[in-house]
Copies of this chain bind each other. A is one copy, B any other.
Amino acid sequence: MSYNAPIKDMLFVMNELANIDAVSALPGCEDATRETAEAVLEENAKFVSGVIAPLNHAGDKEPSFWHDGQVTTTKGFKEAFRQFADAGWQGLQHPQDFGGQGLPKLIGTPCVEMLHGANLSFALVALLSDGAIEALMTAGSDEQKATFLEPLVTGKWTGTMNLTEPQAGSDLAAVRTRAEPQGDGTYKIFGTKIFITYGEHDMAENIVHLVLARTPDAPPGVKGISLFIVPKFMVNADGTLGARNDVHCVSIEHKLGIKASPTAVLQFGDHGGAIGTLVGEENRGLEYMFIMMNAARFGVGMQGIGLAENAYQKAVAFAKERVQSRDLAGSAGPVTIIHHPDVRRMLMSMRAQTEAARALAYVGAGIHDIAHHHADEETRAANQAIYEYLVPVIKGWSTEMSENVARDGVQVHGGMGFIEETGAAQHYRDAKILTIYEGTTAIQANDLVGRKTLRDGGKVAKHLIAQVRATATQLGELDGADFAAIQGRLEQGAADLEAVVDFVLANAKSDVKAVFAGSVPYLKLAGVVLGGWQMGRAAVIAQQKLAGGDGDQAFFQAKIATARFFADHILAQSTALRASIVDGHAGVLALPEEMF
């Protein structure tokens, strides 16, 4: 089960679409040059292909297992994580002060994509640590930072996010876990948390649980939630490990996919109370957790893109090898199935959606870097607003498309795809979690409607739509049927997205349910149009390169063809999505509950 990082496309996107030159011009990002990026990506690609990818199928066949409170991960995971950490990959995007490499998100993002593309189950442990690091960087005390950050950044320890409880899935207002102050600055934590990714494992010597809980006088609802650090082993003043804390894994789940990644039920305080320390201020836990979640949501979007790339590569390899039936245009004998038009259609669809989602995500990463590092405050704020608009789209749309891509990947394999040994089915199973965890697609879509569209009166959305139109205009200036076709679809897509944004703005107060009935289609529409925008930009640049005789001509021709496919097959859906939002809310809400 091999995986080859698509470095050529990654570098094209970073250099040409996500504007790495602007990022390396930022204060503190001077090292993030094209040359550094290329060297980092190549090194990372070698590592994930050689060490991490070979463990992917093994993890599915021999999942991590629980026995008597301990979780034994799939054979090889522990050693691979040590190599990963020792080579500095966990710390790639984290500050040099705490043992990281301090590279910007734009360079970190392709590395994250590769890791997830190679092995989703393995990569999750790193993704959760990244989230814990972000939260502690933002809200941790100096002492907490000194104690926990370096071991997390260097992969000596790992981190977790503890939100969900049995009675409270996505609804954090319902969190019941208690935190009782002990008068010495510590708290005793009591409660049950479920769905805790890597909540218990044997790949690091300590696990830093970040846990949402309520103090005794906390107000009800989400405003009464605080965030605590509850390490698996207490940490002594000198950084060595102390007593085992009272947090225990009572079981792990039997899941559809990502089987090597242990999903734990954690019991806090069954033996007297788990010792925790408060992060930041009381009752601001949700706010801190959102820091973790926003980082993790972007990361889950990258999971979708990485998985889609891997599913595409597997399908291409099969389609080039499997011989079956004659060519429709005539052939002496049977041909490889990549000659059959519908196989070609599925491969193009997989490829086009993956490339579009990658481009949008990397562009988002570049915007994130400007928002964090630019010298000018106003520029930072403007870019932060755009980044925040993009996060639910990158998470929601990239993962929804990855389900479709994984599905097509099985389909290209025909009957062999349904046999587990082939490996295509694992992608189909693994993909299904991505639209659920770190906030379902509906939760991303509600965020897009509420915080990201209504709150600023559609300002960011309209700003992006104007940029889509500018790209359409550029396409209109080029000769050729491909550019005209992409231009037309892009203009229609911009009009559809604008109509939906206007619908959302006009009706949110008078008919909130009608607006939210279309929230997921709105998210998909935003993904399709903004992804199509990146493909349109890519086509313009590819044409400039071709005209200039620059570089890899076949690559640029393929990019234009892929953009054309995206326009006619994916972007063409924009008007139907608009209809399902603007006209379709009546049908969503008409049936009384008892008629279901």
Q: Interface code A566-596, partner B: CB below 8 Å = 1, 0 otherwise?
A: 1111001101100110011011111111111
CA distance A322 to B407 in the complex (A): 29
B415–A558 CB distance below 8 A: no
Residues of B within 8 A of A433 (CB): 418
Nearest residue (CB) in B for A422 is B256
Q: Does A463 contact B (CB under 8 A)?
A: no
B419–A591 CB distance below 8 A: no
Q: Does A554 contact B (CB under 8 A)?
A: yes
**A512-B329, A576-B573 as given contacts; A324 in contact with B419, CB under 8 Å:** no
CA distance A591 to B573 in the complex (A): 22
Residues of B within 8 A of A593 (CB): 320, 338-339
Residues of B within 8 A of A575 (CB): 575-576
**A415-B169, A425-B256, A440-B414 as given contacts; A568 in contact with B583, CB under 8 Å:** yes
Residues of B within 8 A of A164 (CB): 415
Binds B, one of A40-48, A290-298, A343-351: A343-351
Q: How many copies does the complex hold?
A: 2
CA distance A226 to B341 in the complex (A): 30
Q: Does A441 contact B (CB under 8 A)?
A: yes
In the complex, what's the smallest C-beta–C-beta distance from A496 to chain B, in angstroms? 11
**A420-B255, A595-B558 as given contacts; A325 in contact with B590, CB under 8 Å:** no
A432–B428 CB distance below 8 A: yes
In the complex, what's the smallest C-beta–C-beta distance from A101 to chain B, in angstroms? 34
Residues of B within 8 A of A352 (CB): 587
Q: Does A310 contact B (CB under 8 A)?
A: no
Say which residue of B195, B334, B586 sits within 8 Å of A481 (CB atoms).
B586
In the complex, what's the smallest C-beta–C-beta distance from A213 to chain B, in angstroms? 19
Q: Interface code A406-429, partner B: CB below 8 Å = 1, 0 otherwise?
A: 010011001111111100010011
Q: Interface code A322-333, partner B: CB below 8 Å = 1, 0 otherwise?
A: 101110110000
In the complex, what's the smallest C-beta–C-beta distance from A481 to chain B, in angstroms? 7
Q: Which of A164, A316, A410 has the most CB of B within 10 A?
A: A410
A554–B595 CB distance below 8 A: yes
A420–B561 CB distance below 8 A: no
Q: Which applies to chain A's interface (DSSP): helix, strand, loop or mixed? A: helix
A340–B442 CB distance below 8 A: yes
B565–A256 CB distance below 8 A: no
Binds B, one of A123-131, A170-178, A368-376: A170-178
Q: Does A257 contact B (CB under 8 A)?
A: yes
Residues of B within 8 A of A325 (CB): 170-171, 173
B588–A580 CB distance below 8 A: no
CA distance A417 to B568 in the complex (A): 34
Residues of B within 8 A of A440 (CB): 411, 414
CA distance A502 to B325 in the complex (A): 27
Residues of B within 8 A of A591 (CB): 344, 348, 558, 561-562
Q: Does A517 contact B (CB under 8 A)?
A: yes
CA distance A361 to B1 in the complex (A): 40
B567–A254 CB distance below 8 A: no
10 nearest A-B residue pairs (beta carbon): A565-B587, A561-B590, A568-B584, A342-B442, A341-B517, A256-B425, A572-B579, A341-B516, A171-B325, A564-B587
Task: A411-B441, A562-B587 given; name 17 further pairs at CB < 8 Å.
Answer: A169-B322, A169-B324, A169-B415, A174-B324, A316-B596, A320-B596, A329-B513, A342-B519, A345-B588, A347-B596, A410-B436, A481-B586, A554-B592, A564-B590, A568-B586, A573-B573, A575-B576
